[in-house]
Amino acid sequence: MSALKRFVSRTLNLFRFNRAERRFARELTVHLALLEDEYQRRGMSAADARRQAALVLGGVEQTKDLHRDARSFRWIDDLWRDAGYALRMLRRSPVGAAVAILSLALGIGLNSAVFAVVDWVLLRPLPYPHPHQLVRVFSAATAVSRSSAPGMSLTPDDFTRFGEAGSFASSAAFTTGTRILEAQGHEPVHAVVARIHGDLFATLGVAPVIGRSFRADELSGGAPVVVLGDELWRQQFHGDPSAVGRLVSIDGVVYTVVGVMPPNHHYPTEAQLWRPLTPQDRGNKDDREFDMVARLQEHVSLGQANAELAALAHGGPAPARIVWADDLQRAEVGHVRTALEALLASTLLVLLIVCANVAAVISARANDRAGEIAIRGALGATRARLVTQLTTESLVMALLGGALGLLAGQWTLQLLRGLAPVGLPRLTEVVLDPRILLAGLTMTVTIGIGVGLLPAFRLFGVAGSPGSQALGSIRWTRRSGVRRALVLVQAALAVMLTVGAGLLGRSLGNLVAIENGFSADHLIAADLSFRGGDVRQLLRDLTEQTAAIQGVRSAAVSMQLPTQTAGLRTQVRREGASGSPAGATLRPISPRYFEALDVPLLAGRQFTNADSRTAPPVAIVNETFVRDILGGAGAVGVSLTPFVLKAPLTVVGVVADLTPAGKPDRAALYVPADQVSLGGRMFLLVRTRDDPRAIQQLLRERIRSVAPGVATDRIIPVAEDLEASRSLTRFSTQLAASFAGLALLLSAIGAYGLVSGEVVARWRELAVRLALGALPRQALWAVIRPCALLLAAGAAIGVASALVIAPSFTSLLHGVEPDDTPTLVMAPLVLVSVGISAAVLASIRLLWTGPAETLRTE
Amino acid sequence: MAPSERPASDKINLLPGTLELIVLRILTVMGAQHAYAIATRIEHAAATPTRLNQGSLYPALVRLEQKGWIKGAWRVTENNREARYYAITKAGTRALAAEVDRWERSTSLVNRLLTSEGE
């Protein structure tokens, strides 16, 4: 009780320092007066009595100190005063302070934002109960390297066989596809439907928020029921809970809505609604690819599960497939891991540079104040007290920088969210949560204390010997070499990052200038889905009507977007040839397709309206087809037998390859859409004269009038689609490049500070040389030479480190080798020239002042 | 300047905490007193002429006052000077009893151990 009272009282006294001080001063005065009274009574003179009184008391100031100690928390009080002092010192040299604080703000801001993203994407558990029991199961026909085949899918047979494994508590398979959804009173729209096999929701451990999940009999029998995703439910049913029980049609088949999932459920990532797989789906030979998730039994490890899967695969029918399971989260984020790790690594390097900058500023200050520190030491300040004071100063700086940094982090995070590619899972939900803020604070305090301690300890020598030299002009850094070590480290780090920035920058340039094999500008695609039936006439009408729109150059139809090179596979054989058939991609297109896409025709002719259903079957092949299947020989006139089409085709033309985002094309066989029976999903490709967005609405209306009932919600410029397909690469490259650029800027600032500090530290020497008659050129060279050597050494270390590290980021580089010579030469050149300019500038300042003046101020 | 580096110049060296006990006791016996009077009283109580470092009394007074065991108030002395008089509170009286008890137990233990050599 009394201890608590005392604590409260001491705490309160922190805030009423002046009042307590006044009161005690008054009390002490009386005490001294009473003592003096007594000594005077004993016959001392007034002056003697006063001296004696102070002696008996034990010193007025000392007593006050004792009193302060007892009545409050002295260390907090000290801290308070040190902080005030630190702020005054920062104001005294605002430029250095600004460099340090802004560097810190940038470093801490970037780090917290990137750490938040990395934490969210790579470290945070999936939003399901016991997320580490969840695994993805992969399967492949042949032994492939697991890391290189993250997307290996299962066949329905695989699922039946492996889903039963004893290691799994439950399992489910699914496949997704874009279908046409019609809800009553709404235009038809495209929606990504996940068809599920097994209880996916139960395996994950999620349940609908409204309505119910699928029943076992619905799942096994493939009942016509669906569960809606939150987003779709809001769009199509305006978030109305009575949506449950209503009917929707998917590709013309009617389903009953039984539930709505919670907003945070996105699995599989793009799915908008889920329905059980029907027996028809299962019989459909096209649905050969499933993704599988499973929940491990309690106490079963991933290794045990994999052993069981391997045994099952081995015992199965030939040809044997290999099967393995991997942690669900790891499997889902696999493709972004490298990018994020590179990002984190570059921000950490940025932080290192920031630390070097702050250390440089702090040690420059400590250097300037060596004299002051020595005097304080001589007057009896303890080392602990001096160290605390210096550390407080860097801590104040760090905290200011940290506070700004968290603001910067918030802002950076918004930027990151805006730039985030579609493929980066769950990024929209990432925030700077208290843990990240705590990490930021820890980082700040660690840097503040760590960087503050460095010069503080160096100053011990000075503070401990308060004699002649410390009060004079001896500067600690000249002897210690700490500054030089900093220059070296800084130069090395900066060069490493500049090499990184250069590589990524060049790679980004390659990405922008990449050859797609077709022109994506002014190209817009409408995603059309038909409910079966013969749509050939409809497509012809649609193409003609579209081509008639003002501003349209040409229009064509194709079963695939040019941004996808995969598609319908077929085995094909040269007519009359023996040997095994080769695989090719079948691409049904309309006439004028290559014209609309701007794909050059290399030989022969294009398709025309004359290549109709009744005309002889023809085909156009691409370069890869000619090279891989026809052995590079002349293709026009060759007769081919594709297995899916039965009748032989005559090749009438050769076109260039499609290389969307720089990916190589596959061997492709283009056939006239009229000559194959088509249905389902088709794309209308339209090349416009101006911005394709301008005709978006007109195009939509035209399609509705020609083909009523076709969903027209997906009419997107092809350039955007192309962008999305390489957005992850672009995102990480852009970010890493801009971070590395920032790092270069920071280290240039830092190198400037350090090198000019080095020159300033040698002002006296330089001044003496000049005063003794050295030519300015000679004197300058004497100072600049060691700086240049130091920078060059640092740069060499940087280049060497970059050569070691760069190959691990090869997957982020496009068309640039990790040991790209121009980059490796440019990076150190930039830094060394910045450093030498700094040295020259700093020296010029000295020459300007004049040696005599300089020596006087020393 | 931190207190730790002050030379230990107290002319009387008391065990930690005993000064507070002594102050409480003096205030019980003599009634409210100012710091100078308390210091003089301690010096007079010593067997041999002794001088106390009088300033060192203040931390003890602060601690006692913050614990609520004594209470200070400004009053006029007989010499017509205004001084801060400290009086023991009820809590202080209770605390004194407890502290005296504790002191006696610990000193008797120490005494016994110091005099029981060879047993």
- Structure-token pair, residue A259: 């539930």
pLDDT value, residue B87: 92
Residue A579 near chain B (CB below 8 Å)? no
* Terminal CA-CA length for chain A: 59
Alpha-carbon distance B22 to nearest alpha carbon in chain A (angstroms)? 18
* Three-state DSSP class for residue A393: helix
pLDDT at A666 (0 to 100): 81
A570 is written with which tokens? 């077929």
**CA–CA distance, A485 with A460 (Å, rounded to integer):** 19
How confident is the model over A99-124, as a mean pLDDT? 81
Chain B contact for A5 (CB, 8 A cutoff): yes
- Average pLDDT over chain A reads 79
Rounded to the nearest angstrom, the gap between the alpha carbon of residue A279 and the centroid of all alpha carbons in its chain is 43
Q: Determine the length of chain B.
A: 119
Closest CB to A69 among B9, B59, B66? B59
Q: How many CA atoms lie within 13 A of A79 on its CB side?
A: 8
User: What is the SS3 assignment for A398?
Assistant: helix
Q: Would you give the DSSP letter of residue A121?
A: I
Q: Say which range, A63-72, A247-256, A268-277, A315-324, has the weakest mean pLDDT.
A: A315-324
Give ipTM to 2 decimals: 0.82
Q: pLDDT band at B3, cuts 50/70/90?
A: very low
- What pLDDT shows up at residue A470? 42
| Separation of alpha carbons A205 and A128, rounded Å | 6
Cα A284 to the center of its chain, rounded Å: 40
- Most trustworthy range by pLDDT among A407-416, A523-532, A616-625: A616-625
Say if CB A72 and CB A14 are below 8 A apart: yes
A182-191, A397-406, A460-469: range with lowest mean pLDDT: A460-469
Backbone angles phi, psi at A154, to 5 degrees: -105, 155
Determine whether the interchain pair A30/B6 forms a contact, defined as Cβ–Cβ distance below 8 Å. no
Q: Taking CA atoms, what residue in A is nearest to B51?
A: A56
Looking at A8-22, A479-493, A586-600, B105-119, which range is the least confident one?
A479-493
* 8-state DSSP, A816: -
| A290 and A162 Cβ atoms separated by less than 8 Å | no
Spacing of C-alpha A525 from chain mean position? 30
User: Vertex A444, ends A438 and A448: CA angle to 5°?
Assistant: 145
Nearest CA distance, A376 vs chain B (angstrom): 10
Q: Are A531 and A757 in contact (CB under 8 A)?
A: no
Quick check: A569 and A583 in contact, CB under 8 A? yes
Chain A residue whose CA is closest to B9: A58
Q: What is the DSSP letter of B17?
A: T
Rounded mean pLDDT, A509-516? 64
Please state, in angstroms and rounded to a whole number, the distance separating the CA atoms of residues B109 and B119: 15
- Region A636-655: what's the mean pLDDT? 85
Look at A88-97, A365-374, A723-732, A776-785 and tell me which has the smallest mean pLDDT: A723-732
Encode pLDDT of A401-449 as tens digits: 888 888 888 888 887 777 665 555 556 667 777 887 788 788 788 888 8
User: Residue B88 belongs to what H/E stretch?
Assistant: strand B82-88
CA terminus-to-terminus distance, chain B: 49
**Cα–Cα distance between A373 and A4 in angstroms, integer?**
39
What letter does residue A19 receive in the DSSP assignment? H
In the numeric block, the tokens 């941004």 are attached to A563
Q: Which helix (H) or strand (E) holds A77?
A: helix A74-92
| Model pLDDT, residue A296 | 92
Min mean pLDDT across A225-239, A796-810, B86-100 is at A796-810
Look at residues B73, B76, B85, B101 and name the one whose alpha carbon lies nearest to residue B26.
B85
Tell me the β-bridge partners of A210.
Answer: A260
pLDDT at A148 over 50: no
CB A685 within 8 A of CB A717: no
Find the mean pLDDT for residues A223-237.
Answer: 91
Residue A522: both structure tokens together: 């002014």
Q: Quote the distance between the C-alpha of residue B89 and its chain's center.
A: 15
C-alpha count within 13 angstroms, C-beta hemisphere, residue A193: 20
The chain B residue lying nearest A71, using CA atoms, is: B62
Owner of token pair 């590290």: A805
pLDDT tens digits along A571-589: 788 877 776 777 788 899 9
Chain A closest-CA separation from residue B109 CA (Å): 26
Q: Which residues contact A53 (CB under 8 A, 6 or more apart)?
A: A32, A35, A36, A39
CA distance B38 to chain A (A): 11
Residue B4: closest C-alpha in chain A = A382
Cβ of B44 under 8 Å from any chain A Cβ? no
**What mean pLDDT do residues B26-36 have?**
90
- Considering only CB atoms, A6 lies closest to which of B4, B6, B66, namely B66
